[in-house]
Amino acid sequence: MVKIATWNVNSIKARLPNVLGWLEDFAPDIALLQEIKSVEDSFPRLEIEALGYHLAVAGQKTYNGVAILSKTPLEVAETRLPGEPEDDQARYIEATTETAAGRLRVASIYLPNGNPVPGEKFDYKLRWLDRLNAHIPSLLAREEAFVLGGDYNVIPADEDCHDVAAWAGDALIRPESRAGLRRLLYLGLTDAFRALHAEGHVYSFWDYQGGAWEKDEGVRIDHLLLSPQAADLLAESGIDARPRAKPKASDHTPVWCTLAAA
């Protein structure tokens, strides 16, 4: 069994004790991290390698930054999302690794938030969704298992939101954003959580403000999207809400799935 998780940690430096504790406790084979807010040189490499992980980092100062942690060695394929060479924001890293479930391609994705709407940031979000969609066919053509995990900053459907009215007009729930995510599913990808859980109102993000966590006023915006070959191996999935309850928590919590050994 291969356990894969995605977690927007909101700064690896501020979150290091929480992340290390969770890695030891949850012991994912692969962890896809977003918003590390760190360049590669200041990433706490030694502490994470000490837990038995190989590391691939696409870092950036202050903002963004994504990483892949894996118990098996990584071969980096991309450190930026193709399609807009002048875009230097560190929001995408893709690598391959040999797992108990066979060769697996994984990507850690931090899709732009896109607020306010309308505006340049929303336009950038929609272009980013277009670029991600444009990148998928080349991955599908490999006919391999792959998992694209991350903070998509898109609420897929009304049941993934505590209060649709409260989010009306927000970039995370706008029809254009949902359409961009839906196109990924139409290409043949599977939402690992939704595929195995019909129930709504299960969340991966709760705002720091207004006691959202205590009131369970969240949204489900962190997703693991599986290629058909990976979906065939999908055994379990879930959302581990425990890290959100801890002191110094990220505003996101890990989303995970397991793939059966080949």
Partner DNA sequence: ATGGTGGCGGTGCCA
Assign 214 to helix, strand or coil: coil
Does the footprint of DNA cover residue 10 (CB under 7 A)? yes
Dist CA 87 CA 150 (whole Å): 19
Q: Is 218 in the site for DNA (CB under 7 A)?
A: no
Name the residue nearer to DNA (CB basis): 121 or 178: 121
Close Cβ partners of 101 (under 8 Å, ≥ 6 residues apart): 1, 2, 145, 233, 259, 260, 261, 262
Is the Cβ of residue 186 or residue 208 nearer to DNA in the bound state?
208
Residues in 243-262 that interact with DNA by CB under 7 A: 248
Q: Which of 3, 37, 223, 244 binds DNA (CB under 7 A)?
A: 37
Phi, psi dihedrals of residue 193, rounded to the nearest 5°: -70, -55
Minimal distance, residue 122 CB to DNA, in Å:
10
State the greatest distance between any 2 C-alpha atoms of the chain, in Å, as a whole number: 46
Site string for DNA, 136-165 (x = CB under 7 A): -----------------x------------
Single out the segment in contact with DNA by CB under 7 A; choices: 132-140, 174-182, 207-215, 231-239.
207-215
Q: What are the residue ranges of helices labelled H in the chain? A: 12-26, 45-49, 120-140, 175-186, 192-196, 228-231
The residue length of the chain stands at: 262
Pairing of strands 222-226, 190-191: antiparallel
First to last CA, the chain: 9
Using CB under 7 A as the binding rule, the residues of this chain from 49 to 78 that contact DNA are: 61-63
28, 59, 112, 243: which one binds DNA (CB under 7 A): 112
Q: Measured from the CB of residue 220, what is the shortest distance to DNA in angstroms?
A: 15
Stretch that binds DNA, among 51-59, 162-170, 173-181, 206-214 (CB under 7 A): 206-214
